[in-house]
Amino acid sequence: MFQIIERRMIVPNLHELVVEAPDIAQAAQPGNFIIVRPDEYGERTPLSVADWDREAGTVTSIFMQVGGSTAKLARLKPGDSMPSCAGPLGKDTEIENFGTVLCVGGCYGIGSLYPVACALKEAGNKVYTLLEGRSSYLLYWQDRFAEVSERVIEVTRDGTAGYKGHISRLAEILTLEKIQPDLIIVNGCTFLMMKTSKVTEPMGCKTIVNMNPIMIDGTGMCGVCRLTVAGKMKFACVDGPDFNGHEVDWEEFLKRRQTYNPEEVHPLRKSGCASHF
C-alpha cells in the first residue's frame, strides 16, 4: 500500500497528490509518469510526475478531476493509502544545453513541466516559461518557475493576467518579448500541445510534446497508448511520452483520447458530481 501524504485542490478541479513511494522517488526524472489505482476496483490512471523528494521518499503529481477514477483520487486524504503506484515509467525528457528553451505549460501540465524547467536550467539553458489558462485563477506555481526562468509569461483567455488570448498568439508574443527559442517544450492538455505545435511548425522551431493517451499497463504490453508519429506506430508509454509535436498525427490521437468519454464523464454528469464539465 502507498500512503497519501497530501492531496489538496490547488486551483479549481486540479489536485496536488503527494504519495510515499521511496523507490519511485529515488529513480524519478523529468518527463516520467506513474500509474496509480485509487482503490482495489479503480482503473489504472497515468499521472505525470511533477516533483519528488528523494530524502523523504515522496512523489508529487498534479491531476485533473475528469472522470470516475480521478474523482476517487480527489477524495483521498492524508493518511489514506492506494493499493498500487507503479513507476517511474516512460523515457526521461531529453535534457542538454540547447541554448534558449521556452517551456509552455497549461492545466495539469504546468506541474509536470516544473522538473523539466529545473533540469534545463541546471544544464545551462536560458529558460523562459509561458503558462496558459482560461483565467488567472487557474494558473499556479509561478513562483517556482520564476526561480529557474529568465521570465514567466502568462497568457489568459479572459485577460486577467498577462497577454489576453490563446496560445495561437505565440509567434506575436515571442516577438514582443524578444525571445528566439532554440527549442520549445509543451506539457498540458492535448489541445494546448496540438495548437502550439501547429503555431511553431512554420517558425521551424523544434517542439517537444509530452503525450497523455489512455494507458493500461504502461510497459508496452497492451497497445492502448498507441499513436502515430512520423507515419510510424509508437507506444507513448515506452517510446515516449515525449515526441516531436510536428510529427504527431493529432487527428487520430484526439479520436483515440476521447474513446471512453461517455463511460467516464457522462455518469458523473448525471450524478451531479461533474457540474463543471
Beta-carbon-side half-sphere exposure of residue 92 (alpha carbons within 13 Å): 11
Any contact of residue 86 with ligand FES (CB under 6 A)?
Answer: no
To ligand FES, the closest distance from the beta carbon of 240 in angstroms equals 9
Binding mask 194-233 for ligand FES (x = CB under 6 A): ---------------------xxxx-xxxxxx--------
Task: Kindly tell me which of 109 and 218 has the beta carbon lying closer to ligand FES.
Answer: 218
Any contact of residue 33 with ligand FES (CB under 6 A)?
Answer: no
Any contact of residue 42 with ligand FES (CB under 6 A)?
Answer: no
Instruction: Write the burial class of residue 65 (CB in 10 Å: 0-12 exposed, 13-18 middle, 19+ buried).
Output: buried
To ligand FES, the closest distance from the beta carbon of 274 in angstroms equals 25
Q: Residues 274, 265: contact at Cβ < 8 Å? A: yes
Any contact of residue 243 with ligand FES (CB under 6 A)?
Answer: no
To ligand FES, the closest distance from the beta carbon of 242 in angstroms equals 14
At 119, phi and psi to the nearest 5? -65, -35
Q: Residues 105, 187: contact at Cβ < 8 Å? A: yes
Task: Kindly tell me which of 106 and 240 has the beta carbon lying closer to ligand FES.
Answer: 240
Task: Kindly tell me which of 155 and 248 has the beta carbon lying closer to ligand FES.
Answer: 248
To ligand FES, the closest distance from the beta carbon of 27 in angstroms equals 19
Q: Which three cell numbers stand for residue 71?
A: 474523482
Q: Which three cell numbers stand for residue 139?
A: 494558473
Collect all residues with Cβ–Cβ distance below 8 Å to 26 and sequence separation of at least 6. Answer: 54, 57
Torsion-angle region of 87 (φ positive above 0: left; ψ -120 to 50: alpha; else: beta): left
Q: Residues 44, 70: contact at Cβ < 8 Å? A: no
Q: Residues 111, 261: contact at Cβ < 8 Å? A: no
Task: Kindly tell me which of 111 and 213 has the beta carbon lying closer to ligand FES.
Answer: 213
Compute how many residues bind ligand FES; rule: CB under 6 A: 12
Task: Kindly tell me which of 149 and 210 has the beta carbon lying closer to ligand FES.
Answer: 210
Q: Which amino acid is at 240?
A: G
Task: Kindly tell me which of 133 and 240 has the beta carbon lying closer to ligand FES.
Answer: 240
Binding interface with ligand FES (CB under 6 A): 215-218, 220-225, 235, 237
